[in-house]
Structure formats: structure tokens, C-alpha cells
Amino acid sequence: MDPASATVAFVGFAASITTLTATLFNSCKTLRDLCHDLGNAPQDLHRLLRNVQILERMVIQVKQTGTEIVSDESMAHLDAYWKNNATDMETDLQGFHQKVSKLQSGLDKPSVTSKHVRARFYKVFTESDIAHYERLLSQHLDIFTVLYTILSNERSKALMNEFRLQTKKLDQLASTAESFHATVKSELRTTQKLCSGEHRLVLDKVKSEVRALSRQLPEEASILSHLHRHGADVVPLYSMDQTP
């Protein structure tokens, strides 16, 4: 599925899920209010409420999971399955909600006995109606369970792809850091060698200059002879060293 088709498919899927969620929410609210307000509500009414609540929770999970993954591949898997079931589910749940609304209207009328409540309930929901809608709710729960499985698998694949991508980035960072460390060590060794070489050059130059200066200075004997000729009374340096 190309990106444009995947986007269109996702928009349609999200819109359908939103519609179903709203329908189930309204049905749940009505049934819950009736169970709360009618202290003598039939057990079949409570059971219908539980079944609708279970389906509503699953639809919400599918909706939340579906918004987390939007890819061409995931929508290709999802779109075909959804199109085969969406229309029937919308029709069934709308019909169920109409029944629930009709039940609410019937029970809103004054009623003084539990017998009247039961009679009005079973007038709207016959035993065959209850069995029919319980079967439909169970079937639609199975459909949404499959949808949730598909979406969960796609999310797991997306997470694995992200994990591999992050692992690759970390490996690249580690390789870059290792290369940088090696470069720094190499430059440090080069700098040390250069410093050592320059130090030797400086020492050699100093020694050379000292030797040159030494050659330019006159010998001690020559200095003493020169001083004697001019009448100076001097003592050689080595004699001074031996003076007690």
C-alpha cells in the first residue's frame, strides 16, 4: 500500500472506530444508569451491560493502539480485515443502541413494582433478542480481539525496528568515540615526540653556543701573563683553591 492510500485507509479506520466508540459509550451509559436507578433491574440487563462494557474496553484499546502505529505495511494488513467487518459492526451496534434507547423510554414511565419493570424490559428485549445481541457482542469482541492482535504485532515490529535503529546509532557513536580516542592518543604521541625533539635541539644549540663562547675566551695562563706584564700581582685560580 502506497503512503497516500495508507493515510486514507487510516483516516477511514479512525473515523469508524470513533463512531463505534461513541455508540458503545452511549449504550453503556444508558444501561449503567438503568441498572443504577432500578434497584430491581433484571439480571439480563446487568449481563447486557457487562458484555457491552467488555466490548467497549476492547474497542478503546484498539483505538489507542491504532494511533500509535501508522505505516504503509500495518495499514495494508489492517485495512482488508477492517473493511470486511466494519459495516456489519456499525449496523449491529446502532441497532443495539436503538433497542437500549427504546428500553430507556419504556422504563422512564412510572412503575411501582418489579413486575412492571421486568415486563417492560422483556417487552423491548425478548429472550431471543437477548440471545441474539449477546451472540453479536461476542462476535464483535472476537473481531476486535483479532484487530488488537494485529495492531499489537505491528507495534511490536515498530518497536523492534526502533530498537535496531537506536542500537545502530549507539554502535556508530561507540565507533566514533573509539576513533576519536585513537586520534587523540596518536596526536599526543606525536606532540610528545616533537616536544622531545625540540628539547634536544635546544640543548644541543645551547651546548654548541657554550663551546663557541669557550673557544673565544683566552686561556688563564695567557691572562696571567698579560697581567704580569702590566705589573699586576695575581694568584692563579688553582692556587686559590688550594689555600687552607
pLDDT tens-place values along the chain, 244 residues long = 566 666 666 677 888 888 999 999 999 999 998 888 877 788 999 999 999 999 999 999 988 887 766 555 666 667 777 878 888 999 999 999 999 999 888 777 665 556 678 888 888 999 999 999 999 999 999 999 988 888 888 778 877 888 888 888 888 888 888 888 888 787 777 777 766 766 676 666 766 766 776 666 566 566 666 666 666 555 554 454 454 5
| Residue 77 covered by a domain | yes
pLDDT digits (tens, 9 = 90+) for 219-235: 656 666 666 666 655 55
- Structural domain span for residue 122: 3-160
Question: Cell digits for 72?
Answer: 504503509
| Residue 115 covered by a domain | yes
| Residue 221 covered by a domain | no
pTM more than 0.75: no
- 158-164 — which CB contacts under 8 Å span 24+ positions? 158/68, 158/69, 158/71, 158/74
| Residue 66 covered by a domain | yes
| Residue 101 covered by a domain | yes
| Residue 224 covered by a domain | no
Burial 34-60 (b: 16+ CB within 10 A, else e): bbeebeebbebbeebbebbeebbebbe
Question: What gap in Å lies between CA 106 and CA 99, rounded to an integer?
Answer: 11
| Residue 112 covered by a domain | yes
Q: Count how many Cα atoms sit within 13 Å of the Cα of residue 239 in the half-sphere of its side chain.
A: 6
DSSP state of 40: T
| Residue 168 covered by a domain | no
The total domain count for the chain is 1
